[in-house]
Amino acid sequence: MSAVRPGHEHEHEHGRQYGGEAGPGYDPLTDPLPPGEHASAWFRTPTVSRGPEPPSAPYAEPQAAGEPVDWYDREGYRQDWYGPEPKREAEPAPVRAPSHAPVTPQPPAPEERTPDALAETAVFGTLAPKAAPGESAPGPSVTVPVTDDETVALRTSDTRRAAEAPPGPGRAERRRAAKGRGRRRPAAATAAAAAETPAGPAKPMSRVEARRAAKAAKDSPAVIASRAIGELFITFGVLMLLFVTYQLWWTNVLAGQQSDKAANRIQDDWAKGRKPDAFEPGQGFAIMYIPKLDVVVPIAEGIDKNGVLDRGMVGHYSEGKLKTAMPQDKQGNFAVAGHRNTHGEPFRYINRLKPGDPIVVETQDTYYTYEMTSILPQTPPSNVSVIGPVPPGSGFTRPGRYITLTTCTPEFTSTYRMIVWGKMVEERPRSKGKPDALVG
């Protein structure tokens, strides 16, 4: 409650009679506000002090800085309190000179308080800031000591929790949350995100929530099936790559080593003078040369795939209905077979042979030289007449000493057979040296 200025006791009394809230002696707790027709006249006075009026302003009285102004308006005070105010034209507001009065100082902005200061406030209450010398205090200051130990402990703990609480999410976190709003997230991802929030570890989940999270973390049957199919395809691809590498490269390496061993064994037998009465299946007995293709390959008895052909050798048709003549026979067709691809592939390029190209067969005692005469690019495997004594389509019309080379076609398949025919042009003993086809 502000004090009544000396000499204005009658104004204070009038303020109380007519309900003036802005009167300097008015107390809203003890004095009721009686309804009156002229009660609004007492609300014209501003509630904030403007400081001393300039000398040129009418009805201005010097006032100390910070002191409240009069609670009444001097113009309104002259009005008739018991009747309505007569209507009159509004007088122009007096022109005031630029105010040079000092501005009422505003209370300083509240400073950021540390946890220690908050704890001190919780114990001793709010302390009002001290006023500068020559200025009035901005407001009443009361220090209220707290004597309740329980209250002090509660306030201190609340203050410490507020100080230790981590800051809220930053701008980037809020943007990510706004982008992901409305999207469904699995229970496992939601639990993991809640566990990583800055507020601290996630609350322990109930048994139902834990089951749901574990179920959401498990892969669905479709995911498991697709993963298994993908692994099978990868494994199949790796196996296919290994198989192709084995077929196209490694089989040739192995077959080359085995055919070289067979050729060396044949030459050793010749050097030692061994002459077998009959050749056993798989046993090498001769060596074939195709100079144009740079082919040197041993010839073994039989056309067994595993025992002869896959070992890089050429097989002689010598069994059952497919039995053909030997090179030393005076009449007949000497027919052999060999791989066109993989396993040494001795007949891979026989399609490049032209009529007149030499083919030489070396035995223990003799060199037999043939010249290529014709080629059948494709025929079914069931056409066994191509290895007959006088093969049809070869151009031969009567019995003679012929040679036939057979292989698979197209390349890397065994759907059809390619046939190359030739006739003998020279028989030369080994004691006389190599024929011209090999020397040249």
Per-residue pLDDT tens digits for 39-49 = 444 444 444 44
* pLDDT value for 46: 47
Instruction: Pick the last residue of a domain from 81, 111, 126.
Output: 81
Q: Structure pTM?
A: 0.52
Q: Indicate if the pLDDT at residue 277 is higher than 90.
A: no
Whether residue 374 contacts residue 395, with contact meaning beta carbons closer than 8 Å, is answered with: yes
Flag whether 108 is in a domain.
no
Domain count, the chain: 2
- Please give the C-alpha separations between residue 214 and each of 159, 189, 209, 210, 211, in angstroms, as whole numbers: 39, 11, 9, 6, 5
pLDDT in tens, 153-175: 556 555 566 555 555 567 777 77
Name the one residue in this structure whose structure tokens are 């010398």.
Answer: 133
* pLDDT value for 255: 93
Flag whether 226 is in a domain.
no
Flag whether 166 is in a domain.
no
Flag whether 337 is in a domain.
yes
Flag whether 230 is in a domain.
no
Flag whether 217 is in a domain.
no
Q: Indicate if the pLDDT at residue 426 is higher than 90.
A: yes
For residue 273, the domain's CATH number is: 2.40.260.10
**Who has greater pLDDT, 212 or 116?**
212
Flag whether 429 is in a domain.
yes
Q: Indicate if the pLDDT at residue 135 is higher than 70.
A: no
* pLDDT value for 173: 77
DSSP code string of 237-268: HHHHHHHHHIIIIIHHHHHHHHHHHHHHHHHH
Instruction: Pick the last residue of a domain from 81, 106, 129.
Output: 81
Whether residue 377 contacts residue 288, with contact meaning beta carbons closer than 8 Å, is answered with: no
**Cα distance between residue 282 and residue 404, in whole Å:** 19
Nearest to 139 by CA among 108, 113, 111: 108
* pLDDT value for 159: 58
Flag whether 21 is in a domain.
yes
Active site residues: 339, 408, 417
**What are 429's strand-pairing partners?**
366
**Who has greater pLDDT, 338 or 150?**
338
Average pLDDT over residues 104-115: 56
All residues at 6 or more sequence positions from 51 whose CB lies less than 8 Å from its CB, including other chains: 63, 65, 99, 101, 102, 103, 104
Least confident piece of the model among 250-254, 256-260, 371-375, 436-440: 436-440
Name the one residue in this structure whose structure tokens are 């400081």.
Answer: 51
Which residues span the domain enclosing 68? 1-81
Nearest to 362 by CA among 440, 282, 291: 291
Instruction: Pick the last residue of a domain from 81, 96, 123.
Output: 81
310: Cα separation from own chain's centroid: 48
Least confident piece of the model among 92-101, 342-351, 369-378, 401-410: 92-101
Whether residue 326 contacts residue 334, with contact meaning beta carbons closer than 8 Å, is answered with: yes
Report the range out of 118-127, 220-229, 333-342 with the highest average pLDDT.
Answer: 333-342
